[in-house]
Every structure is written in structure tokens, then in C-alpha cells.
């Protein structure tokens, strides 16, 4: 069943929301699943075996336990941001929506905000994990504690004209050896900054940090997740798991990936619509329409038109169709020097959904 969509955003025949809109994001979720599977498979592959020197002091640090294990980092940097996203979506719904919407009579906007918040976070995390593992395997950089993992044979030395290979190692633990050759970039760092960095961007957008009012407490709140992400990254250096370059690049990778994905689903942090997700995808090229509380749609943030991705034309200040309905009729704009008279406005086009 199709519906009529006018310029005012009214829908004469509305199709069920979940039947017509939710499946437009199916490819996004398929992508999330594929990226997660690839990440797991890449962790099973053997990294590049880079030759090394037995006298290289940068890889002669002791092997010690992790201050923050990857499981703990995963729980902190994924569960906490996810809970924060859900909480802020519920809070926005409670603060801005009418009582009818709170009673779930028309929950369109809330479902969309919550869905996009969770989906975008999942995309950022899985994309970062997959990309990080690809680089780790290709680079094959030795960790600072690689010699301690390798346990070279007694009396081993580098060849006269060359470097040593893994053949001098006596360690039989396959995982320990492979993990010792995945130093660049730091997975803990990229994972922490992807998850907590995304949380920071989400908080900044939700509270409209860059709206010109200068609320410093919002800045502190938005930066607090980055502080913990920095702590996680620095423990990788103090644990002798990574060189400082690994941590630095991993942190940039995670933070950059978080913002890259955030901007796919949300407007810039400095825009008037900061923190509000781009609106639901529609058929027939009708993209980015704003969802009202009752489920009707109109032009969405960033001024995009109903039938294209181009910005909506700037208003000329001329009377609209609503004025004509009040008996004012279509009027002509004042004449300007060296310009022809304007033509009557064309009645708004009706869009079919």
C-alpha cells in the first residue's frame, strides 16, 4: 500500500513503520555481522614473520601479565558506551515527546533514535576491529617482550650477514608466538578509542556542545570517556605489550574510525541538529525526512529535500500554499533594479511513497 506525501510532510496513507523502513538498514546489520566474522577469522591467521635481531633492546623487555585484559577492555569499552547510548535515547524521548508518545501510541522517533544509536556504534566497533587485525597481520611487528616469548636457544646469535628468524625460538606455545608478532597497531588502544571515543562524540552531540552557549561542564562530561581510553592505551606501554608508536597510531585509528562512522549517521557536532540521527531511509529516493511524534515525515536535518540528497532551496520569503488557502493567493515579489518580474509560485509537488 502506498501513501501520499506532501510538502508539508503529511501522509495520507501510512504503511506500517517496521514493514517499510526498518529493512532499509538490513544491509548495515549484515555488514556488522560480516565484519565481526572477518575479525574472528583474521585472529586465526598467522601474521607476517619479520626478521629480527637478538641484540635489539627494544624487544628485550620482560613478559608480564596484562593490567587490563582484552576481555575487560571489551566489557568496559563496549558495554558502558552502549548503556550510555540507550540511556540518552530514553532520556531524550522522555524530555521531548508528548505523553501520547511516552505511552507508546506513536513510538516512531524513539525507535528510530535508539536503533540508529545502537547500529552506528556496532558499525564503528566491528569496522575498527576488522581494520586493526588486518594491519596487525600485515605488519607483523614484534612486541617489546618478543625475546622473552621466543626463548632463543642458548648461545644463539645473529647471522654474520643478516638477521635472525623464528627458527631460533624454543617456545612451543603457538598462540603466544603469533600474538608476539602483532604489536602494530595496538588493539587495546584502537578498541578503547573506538568505543569510548564514539561515546564521547555521542555525548557531545546529545548535549549540543558546540551550540555557542559555552557549557564547560558538558565538555568535561564528553571528554571523560577519552580519559579512560587514554589510560587503557598507556597500560599497553607500561605492560611492555606495545611500543609507543603502536599505541599512538592505534589510538588515532580508533578515534578516527569512531568519528568517521558517527558522521555517517549523525550531522556535524556544530550543526543545529547535532545529536539527532539522520532520519529514516525511505523508498523512491525519499531520504532523510524528519520523523514527527505521530509518525509523519517532513524534510530532515541538513535541509535535504524529499526527492534528492541535494540541499533544499533557500526560502525566498514568498507566500506559501498555506497562505493561498487563507485567501491571500500567489503574490509577486517586489521588482528589483535590472531584474525581470517574478513568476507565480508553482504549487507544491506531491511525492508518492
Q: Is 106 known to be catalytic?
A: no
Alpha helices in 5-107 (DSSP H): 17-20, 26-42, 70-74, 80-96, 99-102
d(CA 148, CA 179): 13
With contact defined as beta carbons under 8 Å apart, do 325 and 258 qualify? no
Could you say which of 242, 325, 326, 332 is catalytic?
Answer: 242
Q: Is 242 known to be catalytic?
A: yes
From the centroid of its chain, how far is CA 227?
Answer: 19
The secondary element (H helix, E strand) that includes residue 173 is none
Rg (CA), the chain: 28
171-204 residues labelled b (16+ CB within 10 A) or e (exposed): eeeeeebbbbbbbbbbbbbbbbbbbbbbbbbbbb
Task: Take residue 287 and report the three cell numbers written for it.
Answer: 531520504
Could you say which of 63, 106, 188, 243 is catalytic?
Answer: 188
Check whether the bond before 185 is cis (ω within 30° of 0).
Answer: yes
Q: Which long-range contacts (C-beta less than 8 Å, at least 24 apart) are formed by 152-161?
A: 152/54, 156/54, 157/54, 158/53, 158/54, 158/55
User: What 3-state DSSP class applies to 285?
Assistant: coil
Neighbouring-strand partners of residue 289: 299
From the centroid of its chain, how far is CA 184?
Answer: 22
Residues designated as active site: 188, 242
Amino acid at each position: 500500500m502506498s501513501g501520499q506525501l506532501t510538502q508539508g510532510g503529511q501522509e495520507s496513507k501510512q504503511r506500517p513503520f517496521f514493514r517499510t523502513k526498518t529493512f532499509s538498514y538490513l544491509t548495515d546489520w549484515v555488514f556488522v555481522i560480516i565484519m565481526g566474522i572477518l575479525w574472528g577469522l583474521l585472529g586465526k591467521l598467522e601474521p607476517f614473520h619479520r626478521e629480527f635481531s637478538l641484540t635489539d633492546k627494544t624487544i628485550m623487555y620482560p613478559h608480564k601479565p596484562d593490567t587490563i585484559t582484552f576481555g575487560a577492555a571489551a566489557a568496559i569499552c563496549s558495554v558502558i558506551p552502549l548503556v550510555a547510548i540507550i540511556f540518552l535515547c530514553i532520556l531524550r524521548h522522555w524530555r521531548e515527546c508528548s505523553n501520547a508518545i511516552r505511552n507508546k501510541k506513536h513510538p516512531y522517533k524513539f525507535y528510530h533514535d535508539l536503533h540508529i544509536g545502537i547500529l552506528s556504534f556496532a558499525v564503528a566497533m566491528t569496522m575498527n576491529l576488522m581494520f586493526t587485525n588486518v594491519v596487525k597481520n600485515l605488519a607483523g611487528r614484534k612486541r617489546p617482550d618478543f625475546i622473552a616469548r621466543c626463548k632463543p636457544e642458548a648461545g644463539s646469535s645473529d647471522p654474520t650477514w643478516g638477521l635472525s628468524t623464528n627458527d631460533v625460538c624454543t617456545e612451543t606455545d603457538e598462540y603466544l608466538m603469533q600474538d608476539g608478532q602483532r604489536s602494530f597497531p595496538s588493539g587495546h588502544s584502537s578498541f578503547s578509542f573506538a568505543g569510548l571515543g564514539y561515546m564521547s562524540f555521542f555525548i557531545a552531540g546529545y548535549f549540543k556542545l558546540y551550540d555557542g552557549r559555552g557549557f564547560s561542564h558538558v565538555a568535561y562530561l564528553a571528554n571523560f570517556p577519552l580519559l579512560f581510553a587514554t589510560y587503557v592505551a598507556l597500560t599497553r606501554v607500561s605492560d611492555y605489550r606495545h611500543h609507543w608508536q603502536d599505541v599512538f597510531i592505534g589510538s588515532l585509528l580508533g578515534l578516527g574510525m569512531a568519528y568517521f562512522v558517527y558522521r555517517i549517521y549523525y550531522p556535524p557536532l556544530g550543526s543545529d541538529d547535532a545529536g539527532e540521527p539522520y532520519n529514516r531511509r525511505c523508498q523512491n529516493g525519499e531520504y532523510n525526512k524528519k520523523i514527527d511524534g505521530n509518525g509523519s515525515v517532513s524534510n530532515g536535518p541538513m535541509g535535504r529535500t524529499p526527492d534528492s540528497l541535494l540541499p533544499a532551496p533557500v526560502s525566498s520569503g514568498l507566500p506559501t500554499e498555506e497562505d493561498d488557502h487563507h485567501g491571500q493567493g500567489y503574490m509577486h515579489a517586489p521588482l528589483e533594479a535590472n531584474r525581470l518580474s517574478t513568476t507565480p509560485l508553482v504549487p507544491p509537488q506531491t511525492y508518492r511513497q
